[in-house]
Homo-oligomer: A and B are copies of this chain.
Amino acid sequence: MLTIGKLGQAARVKVPTIRYYEQIGLLPEPDRSAGNQRLYPNTALDRLAFIRHARELGFPLEAIRELLGLSDHPDQSCAAADAIARSQLQAVRNRIARLKALEAELQRMLAQCASGTISDCRVIEVLGDHAHCAHDHGQDLT
C-alpha cells in the first residue's frame, strides 16, 4: 500500500496532480486509512505511470481517458488505440511544421536587426506589418 506521496515519487507525478486526476475521474478513488489518508494498491502505480507517459507524449487527457478505457478491455481490437496514437502523431507533425515556419521568421527578423534605436528596429517593424513576412504563417497560434 502506498501513500499519495510515495505514489507520486514512484511515478514522478506531483501530489496535487494525482488528486486532480482522481477528481476528474482518471484515477479511481482509493481506499482511505483510519485517518482519512489515501492508500493506493500497487496497480495504481501502473495506471499513473501510463498517464504520465502519455502526457509526456503530448496526448490530451481526454485521449488518455479513452486509452485507459481500451486497456481495461484487453480482448477488443486495438484499432481504436492505433487511431488515437495516429492522430496524436499527426498533431505533433503539424506543430513541428508550424514551429519551423516561426523559427525561420524569427531568425530572419533578428538577422536584420541593426541594433540601433527602436525607430529603425526591424523586430518592431516586422511585427507591425505582415507584408514584411517571408512565410505565410496564417492562422497558426503556437
Contact = CB atoms under 8 A, between A and B. Distances in A.
A110 B127 contact: no
Contacts of A74: 117-119
Interface centre among A67, A71, A106, A116, by most B CB within 10 Å? A106
A36 interface: no
B118 A76 contact: yes
Contacts of A39: none
Interface centre among A55, A99, A113, A119, by most B CB within 10 Å? A99
A32 to B, nearest CB: 27
A56 interface: yes
A57 B99 contact: no
A99 B103 contact: no
B137 A57 contact: yes
B128 A49 contact: yes
Interface of A: 46, 49-50, 53-58, 67, 70-71, 73-79, 81-82, 84-86, 88-89, 92-93, 95-96, 99-100, 102-103, 105-107, 109-110, 113-121, 123-124, 127-130, 137-142
3 closest A-B pairs by CB = A78-B121, A58-B142, A74-B119
11 contacts: A49-B128, A56-B138, A56-B141, A57-B102, A57-B142, A71-B124, A74-B117, A92-B99, A96-B96, A96-B100, A99-B99
